[in-house]
Amino acid sequence: MDKYKVYADYLLEVNSHTNLTTITDPAEIEVKHFKDSLTVLDYINEGDRVLDLGAGAGFPGIPLRIEKDFDLTLIDSVNKKVNFMNEVIEKLCLTHTCAIHTRAEDFAKENRESFDVVVSRAVANMSTLSELCLPFVKVGGLFIALKGPKADEEVKLAANALNILGGEVIESKKFDLDGNERCNVVVKKVRSSKKTYPRGQNLPKRKPL
């Protein structure tokens, strides 16, 4: 079974009546969803516990899980997207993988600092994203933000948030992906995050640290 073809075909089928992605050309799906997701594969080890926050239609988490055997949790606040991800997980026969309908501040109550790696793509600016993601990362683990051409500017603006949350940027890997300027920002968790984070009431977005 070509899992990527099954995934892409089902994405297009569901997207015809439920808004999951604006990318509907199969060649663009391959590059902008699948290949882009896999650019962070080397940071994940077999057996890791990984969280994809704001996973949407399953990117980058599901393509990463197709390639490596690890424990994957995908969370999103939009139920139709969670339902889609769970259908894909079943179709692709992916074990140790589940999608959950929840918000970061609620999920954090039971899952603080319990993941080796947290990944997120196209969710929020780096300041907001750091507050949403870093509280889930074990000390010594990684938070990876898959970003575009404005990554450097976002990282500068996020310096205070990263410091408060115990994160330290160890790499900003820039590359061209078939004509698309991309940058993967890799943050190491060097100290515990206070239990007050992430804040509720959409504060990480409305009032970034």
CA distances for 98 relative to 102, 143, 160, 196, 205, angstroms: 12, 19, 33, 26, 26
The kind and range of the H/E element at 79 are helix 79-91
Q: What are phi and psi of 7, to 5 degrees?
A: -60, -50
Which amino acid type is present at position 9? D
Domains and CATH numbers, the chain: 3-206 (3.40.50.150)
Q: Rounded to an integer, what distance in angstroms lies between the CA atom of residue 41 and that of residue 49?
A: 14
Kindly report, residue by residue over 83-131, the tens digit of the pLDDT: 999 999 999 999 999 999 999 999 999 999 999 999 999 778 999 999 9
CB 147 within 8 A of CB 154: yes
Taking the whole predicted model, whether its pTM rises above 0.85 is answered as: yes
Q: Rounded to an integer, what distance in angstroms lies between the CA atom of residue 45 and that of residue 67?
A: 11
Kindly report, residue by residue over 154-206, the tens digit of the pLDDT: 999 999 999 999 999 999 999 999 998 999 999 999 999 999 999 988 899 99
The kind and range of the H/E element at 24 are none
